[in-house]
Every structure is written in structure tokens, then in C-alpha cells.
Amino acid sequence: MKFFITGASGFVGRRLIAPLLQSGHQVIGLSRGARESKTEGLSWVQGDPNQPGDWQAAVAEADVAINLAGANLFGRRWTEDYKKVILESRIAGTKNLVEALVAAGGRGKKLISTSAVGYYGFRGDEELDEYSPPGLDFLAMVCRHWESEAIKAEAAGVRVVRARFGIVLGRRGGALEQVVRPFRMFLGGPLGGGKQYFSWIHQNDLVAALLFLAENEKLTGPFNLTAPNPVTNRDLARAVGQALRKPSFIPTPAFVLRLALGEFGSVLVQGQRALPQRLTEAGFEFQFPQVDTALVDLLG
Ligand SMILES: NC(=O)c1ccc[n+]([C@@H]2O[C@H](COP(=O)([O-])OP(=O)(O)OC[C@H]3O[C@@H](n4cnc5c(N)ncnc54)[C@H](OP(=O)(O)O)[C@@H]3O)[C@@H](O)[C@H]2O)c1
């Protein structure tokens, strides 16, 4: 199949391209920067997903579009201005991609549009599957709008998957790099109370799940892309400490995180316990269902 990927240069896109090519697929990556490919099966189109433009013509060639573009959510203070960028880069980018899919005829194409388990809001230790209602905080609102733009492609016959990512644990970069930093300085430990749930997924399982959803054309609708065993923040800290052989008992108080990170600090001290019910029902098997083995693989 031919894939068109927005945000293909990012943390997830970089991990997805090689496995797609190895499975015999072709990839067109969209990037705002100029990029060249010397790899067979991979080509780049330059364009800003937030603006309609020539890049939209390349969508017509694709069987599957994967929508990964959007301003980075982690590691930056969420000021009011940055929150606007977070929201608008997802709404406009998704709208323009959907417009291109519809202009290309729609039927026979699949759209896998990213969302996040932040969709469900902060729900303590309640187990959340794809049928759970959305939350009311900022990230939940972003996810709802992001998903509603994607769903509009269904009217033109596009099969739409809304992939609600948990925190993707990967090598070099992404959220794990930030989680690990204080541990390397012997300052690691739980964040806030430590009882909040952390829904995570190993990078290999995320990529495998995206391929599974692309290749099984009948699978549509929302899917939680999270490991089947979310952990509390305290258990995550313990597992990181063990994988790095570093102490993991120094807590960071919630107010320090809120002062440093603004509203994003609240996301870290709250959280949600999302379960991959629909992926499991569809027969997807996780390579890394447990956080301890995932972290030893990534950090050990
Ligand atoms: N990684 C995770 O743990 C995680 C968890 C939940 C949800 N997600 C969501 O999954 C998607 C992919 O995640 P990721 O970690 O790969 O993201 P990423 O590395 O932060 O970014 C993906 C790409 O989006 C493009 N981009 C950045 N800012 C943009 C803007 N303002 N407007 C339009 N495009 C912009 C960039 O591509 P160019 O500069 O080449 O254009 C970037 O490489 C994101 O939407 C993210 O929110 C990720």
C-alpha cells in the first residue's frame, strides 16, 4: 500500500517509516522543511499541513493517510499562546488532510488520525475503554475537536480510525527522555502524589498497532493505543529506577510541576487508566505488555 504521513519527521513518524518500507509499503512523508530521500519507497513532499496547498495533490496517490502532525505537547510550558498553537495545528492540519482525501474521491482510502488518551480527561483509577465519555479539561477538548475533524472524512466514504495514543516510550527522545532525566541525576521519584495512572505504550507496539490498523481495512473508529497494563506514577518511577539502577524515591511535589510547566504540570500529576479494549478484541498482540520489561528493553 502507499502511505501518506503528515508529521512524518517527528518522534513517531521516524520510527514508523522503516517498518512500513520493510513490510513492502511505500511512504510519502509531508514536512514543512525541505527533505530528500535516498531510500527506495520513501519520498518527501514539502508543505505546511496547516495551510491548503500543492501538497494536498499527493494525498490522492495514497491508500492510507496517517495524521501525526501537530505542535509538540511535552516539555514546554503551556502558555495561553502555546495552547492556541497546540489546538490550531491539530484542527487546521486535520481539516486540510480530510479535504484532500475527499477531493481524491474518499472511498477505498483509510485515514488513521492521531488523538491521545487525554481525550478521557482526568479520571483517577477508573478503567477507560473506547466507549468511555470524553473529559472536560484543555487536552480533552483538543482531542475532541481533533477527532471531530477526522470523522468528517467518513461522509466521503473514507474509513477513519481515531488512534488515541498513550505516552509513547521510545529510545532517544519523546516523553521517556524527560521522565528519565532526574533519575540520571539521582533525583528520580514519583510526581505529585504518585497514585495517578500513566497509560503508556512501547514504541514497537505503537508502530505494530498502526500497521495492524492500516492493514485490517475493516477496523474503524476509536482505538486506544496503550499497553494493556497502565501503571501508577509511583510504579513507573520504581520501574525506571530499576531499569537504570538508580534511586527512585525522591518525589517532585505537584506545585513545583505546575510552577515549572503551567497546565501541562496538571497533566503529569493527574492522568488516566486507559485500556486497549478494541485492539485486544481485534486480536492484536503486544510485544511489551508490562512496563518493567519495556523499560529494560529501552533503557537497560
Ligand atoms: N509521542 C507521544 O508520546 C504521543 C502521545 C500522545 C499523542 N501523541 C500525538 O501523536 C502525534 C505524533 O507524535 P510525535 O511524538 O511524533 O510528535 P512530534 O515529534 O512532536 O511532531 C510530529 C511532527 O509534527 C510537525 N509539527 C510540529 N509542530 C507543528 C505545527 N505547529 N504545525 C504543524 N505541524 C507541526 C513536525 O513536522 P515538520 O516540522 O517536519 O513539519 C513534527 O515532526 C502528535 O500529534 C502527538 O500529539 C504523541
Q: Is 7 in the pocket of ligand 1 (CB under 6 A)?
A: yes
Strands 231-232 and 197-198 turn out to be antiparallel
| Type of residue at 98 | V
The residue whose CA has the least distance to atom 37 of ligand 1 is 7
- For the chain, give the percent of residues with pLDDT over 90: 88
Q: Is 250 in the pocket of ligand 1 (CB under 6 A)?
A: no
C-alpha cell at 271: 492522568
What spacing in Å lies between the alpha carbon of 246 and ligand 1's midpoint?
31
State pLDDT tens for residues 245-279.
Answer: 999 999 998 888 888 777 888 888 999 999 999 99
pLDDT-derived band of residue 75, with 50, 70 and 90 as boundaries?
Answer: low
Q: Is 150 in the pocket of ligand 1 (CB under 6 A)?
A: no
Q: Residue 71 CA: which ligand 1 atom is closest?
A: 28
The confidence score (pLDDT) of residue 76 equals 79
What spacing in Å lies between the alpha carbon of 231 and ligand 1's midpoint?
24
The confidence score (pLDDT) of residue 265 equals 83
Q: Are 183 and 240 in contact (CB under 8 A)?
A: yes
C-alpha cell at 40: 527506495
The confidence score (pLDDT) of residue 155 equals 97
Q: Is 174 in the pocket of ligand 1 (CB under 6 A)?
A: yes
Q: Is 8 in the pocket of ligand 1 (CB under 6 A)?
A: no
Q: Identify the bridge partners of residue 200 per DSSP, sorted by sequence position.
A: 167
Q: Is CATH 3.90.440.10 the classification given to domain 2-168+201-226?
A: no
Which residues, other chains included, contact 220 with Cβ-Cβ below 8 Å and sequence gap of 6+?
159, 160, 161
Q: Is 85 in the pocket of ligand 1 (CB under 6 A)?
A: yes
